[in-house]
């Protein structure tokens, strides 16, 4: 019963009902002046319906997502990834490259102003998330699987070389990402310089 009352109240307060009622009142005014004749109920109902149709639809506000909460979840997943990697044996060259790559992600996700810059760019957050949750684990896991098969059937490109190429590509992607974020900050600094120059010219 309370739900039905709430729906009725929302309808009475809706833009469609208010607009329809306003037009309906205008129809009543026409009826009182005699302009609507004997068909005044139809005129009033028609004007109400027309007003309800032309009124803009009700807008439901989107939920207030907190982008920082997404980073908190990503940091937790990054911690899981570090635990996983700690128990994996990798060749020296690939291991060093992976350590350097993980340093990139750690620096970006570390709470502080850098993370604030990161979270302001959803594409960058997506790139880091994809690397942490899919790319790096996939690189390491497929290396371990392929290395086992390579021991049984040697030949072809070594799994170690494939892993190094994958990590090089991820490293290049991380460098591009940080360069884009740095460029965004440089643009922000330049915009402030321009603002101060223009303000100085006006004073």
Q: Where do the structural domains in the chain lie, given as residue ranges?
A: 2-54, 67-202
Q: Dihedral angle at the C-alpha atoms of 127, 128, 134, 140, nearest 10 degrees?
A: 120
Q: Across all residues in the chain, what is the average pLDDT? A: 81
Interaxial angle between packed helices 67-86 and 122-130, expressed in degrees from 0 to 180 and rounded to the nearest 10: 20
Q: Is the pLDDT of residue 1 over 50?
A: no
The larger pLDDT score, comparing residue 85 to residue 4, is at 85
Q: Is the pLDDT of residue 11 over 60?
A: no
Lowest mean pLDDT of 64-68, 101-105, 109-113, 170-174, name the range: 64-68
pLDDT at 187: 87
- 130-151 pLDDT per residue, tens: 999 999 999 999 999 888 777 7
How far is residue 144's CA from residue 138's CA, in Å, rounded to a whole number?
Answer: 10
The larger pLDDT score, comparing residue 41 to residue 91, is at 91
User: Whole-model pTM?
Assistant: 0.65
pLDDT at 30: 59
pLDDT at 199: 86
Buried/exposed 79-117: b ≥16 CB within 10 Å, e otherwise: eebeeebeeeebbeebeebbeebbebbeebbeeeeebeb
Q: What percent of the chain has pLDDT over 70?
A: 68
How far is residue 45's CA from residue 170's CA, in Å, rounded to a whole number?
Answer: 66
pLDDT at 105: 94
């Amino acid at each position: 019963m309370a739900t039905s009352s709430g729906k009725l109240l929302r309808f009475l307060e809706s833009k469609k009902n208010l607009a329809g009622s306003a037009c309906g009142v205008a129809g009543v005014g026409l009826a009182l002046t005699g302009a609507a004749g004997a068909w005044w109920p139809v005129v009033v109902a028609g004007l109400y319906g027309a007003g309800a149709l032309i009124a803009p639809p009700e807008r439901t506000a989107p939920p207030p997502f907190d982008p920082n909460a997404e980073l908190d979840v990503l940091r937790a997943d990054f911690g899981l990834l570090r635990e996983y990697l700690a128990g994996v044996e990798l060749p020296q060259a690939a291991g060093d490259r992976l350590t350097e790559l993980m340093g990139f992600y750690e620096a970006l996700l570390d709470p502080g102003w850098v993370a604030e810059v990161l979270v302001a760019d959803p594409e960058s957050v997506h790139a880091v998330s994809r690397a942490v949750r899919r790319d790096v684990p996939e690189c390491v896991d497929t290396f371990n699987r392929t290395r086992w098969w390579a021991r049984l059937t040697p030949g072809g490109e070594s799994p170690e070389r494939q892993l190094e190429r994958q990590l090089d590509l991820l490293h290049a992607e991380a460098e591009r990402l940080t360069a884009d974020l740095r460029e965004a900050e440089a643009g922000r600094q330049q915009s402030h310089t321009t603002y101060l120059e223009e303000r100085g010219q006006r004073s």
